[in-house]
Amino acid sequence: MQDSDVVTVSVDTSAEIELIMVEADVGSRIDVALARRLPELSRARVQALLRDGHILHNDGRTIESHGVRVKLGDGFTVRIPPAAAPEPEAENIPLVVLFEDKHLIVIDKPKGLVVHPAPGHATGTLVNALIQHCGDSLSGIGGVRRPGIVHRLDKDTTGIMVVAKTDAAHHGLAEQFASHGVDGRLERGYLAIVWGILEPASGRIEAAIGRRAHNRTKMAVVHNDSGRHAATKYDVVARMAPKGLPATSLVRCRLETGRTHQVRVHMAHMGHPLLGDPTYGAGFAASVRKLGPDAQEAVLSLGRQALHAALLAFEHPVTGKAMRFESPLPADLAQIFAHLKAGR
């Protein structure tokens, strides 16, 4: 039996590992102790193995509860079945890959790409594309050979996303996104083109976000217990206010939390909704017709909100290396910005 502190194991093929609990494990829950000793497995994956009867005590008992506390000298056999095939099918969808190793992949998502299969979007998603792109390098997220989605972008929001390829990376990235950068490891930045001139030019919006009572698909700033804490820092990058034309601003937003539609809702709450936003900026439709002819045409043909995930920084969940990625405005938003700035 192995009694070393940490055991490295490949989880994309079947394996059987024997472990003896050492002094550092005494008193820990079995899922916590095994996840520490087997860093390629997340605690959720260990709990799934327990539920499925894949962890045995050395006295022959099958351990099914993650609440069991380990004792010095306890021995366990962990049986890891091969990762199951993914339910979504692989699809040959082009991706812009900014970085990739055996643990994770960073992509620059185009507009119109749904992140995960859902009713109405069973195919043609980022998950389908990643299953095709990554192939056998995906190793069992939760026992299934699939990409590990730890954050999402709206279908029509462009920009940088990181996706886990292994269970260990999924666990580490999910933990960072859950803490929303409080410990300094994670940073998420967006560029948005909004109506009007923000005053002051930099600030912090702190307003709880929840679902609207009469439209559950739409989010809003709420002032009751149904809302979740949300905070956004912003800085105005450029003001566009040509004489006689509606004023607009290019704004950089940094997320302190990660709520659904957070940037869109907070900007609309401040009276500065995003250009092209059909959900939170519908009241500014008349303003589009007052723009210069080139800007007006570009906004009307945009077909989405003017929002781009321009910055993503995080700590590599396996190597610990600081990772930082930036993406410029995509062509459609860059064109609108140029027209607005020139007043044409």
For 290-314, write each residue's pLDDT tens digit.
999 999 999 999 999 999 999 999 9
Give just the sign of the alpha carbon dihedral 13, 14, 20, 25.
positive
74 is catalytic: no
Question: What is the SS3 assignment for 57?
Answer: strand
Decide yes or no: CATH 3.40.50.300 for domain 187-342: no
What is the residue-wise DSSP string for 152-166? ---TT-EEEEEEESB
| Cα–Cα dist 246/292, whole Å | 9
pLDDT attached to residue 253: 97
**What is the reported pLDDT for 148?**
86
Q: How much is the CA Rg of the chain, to the nearest whole Å?
A: 24
Distance of CA 245 to the CA centre of its chain: 37
- Secondary-structure class of domain 97-179 per CATH: alpha beta
CA distance 344 to 340: 7
Correct CATH for 15-80 of 3.10.290.10, 3.30.499.10, 3.40.50.150, 3.40.50.720: 3.10.290.10
pLDDT at 1 over 60: no
| Residue 140 CA to its chain's centroid (Å) | 19
pLDDT of residue 267: 97
Q: Token pair 């990554």 is at which residue?
A: 134
Candidate list 74, 154, 156, 167, residue with the active-site label: 154
pLDDT tens per residue, range 258-273: 899 999 999 999 999 9
pLDDT in tens, 206-238: 999 998 877 767 899 998 777 889 999 999 999
Q: Which residue has the higher pLDDT, 304 or 43?
A: 304
* Side chain identity at residue 42, one-letter code: S
Give the Cα-Cα-Cα angle 201, 231, 215 (nearest 5 degrees).
110
pLDDT tens digit string along 67-89?
889 888 888 888 887 665 557 78
pLDDT of residue 285: 86
Indicate the residue type of 192: A
Under a CB-based contact definition with an 8 Å cutoff, are residues 78 and 54 in contact? yes
Per-residue confidence (pLDDT) for residue 271, from 0 to 100: 95
Whether 280 shows a pLDDT value over 60: the answer reads yes
Check residue 7 and give its pLDDT: 56
Q: Domain coordinates of the chain in residue numbers?
A: 15-80, 97-179, 187-342
- Distance (Å, whole) CA 323 – CA 249: 29
15-80 matches 187-342 in fold: no
